[in-house]
Copies of this chain bind each other. A is one copy, B any other.
Amino acid sequence: MGMFDFLRPKKNTASIAKDRLRIIVAQERTSRGAPDYLPLLQRELLEVIRKYVSIDVDAVKVDLVKDGDHDVLDISVALPEERTAPA
């Protein structure tokens, strides 16, 4: 355990945390240049996710961050509470 600890909400917000779906796309920035396709990719990834999970576009939070030598696209989706377990 622990490798994906960053996925977990902070302790003090756990009680109000909704279910979340996190999608993280990371690529090293090297000689091939920055992966400037990440913002475009984001929309298509969400379209795919939407086929499987009911998501509200307002509940989507997107960050495009530089973390050391990586460009990281971090998509966080708050899932609607009313959704029932899959059939």
Contact = CB atoms under 8 A, between A and B. Distances in A.
Interface of A: 1, 3-4, 6-8, 19-28, 30-33, 35-37, 40-41, 44-45, 48-49, 51-53, 67-68, 70, 72, 79, 83-86
Contacts of A31: 85
B33 A85 contact: yes
Contacts of A6: 3-4, 6
Given A44-B51, A48-B48, A52-B41, A7 B32 contact: no
Contact of A85 (B25, B32, B48, B68): B32
A36 B26 CA distance: 24
B23 A68 contact: no
A67 B7 contact: yes
Given A41-B52, A51-B44, A67 B4 contact: yes
Given A1-B68, A41-B49, A49-B41, A24 B22 contact: yes
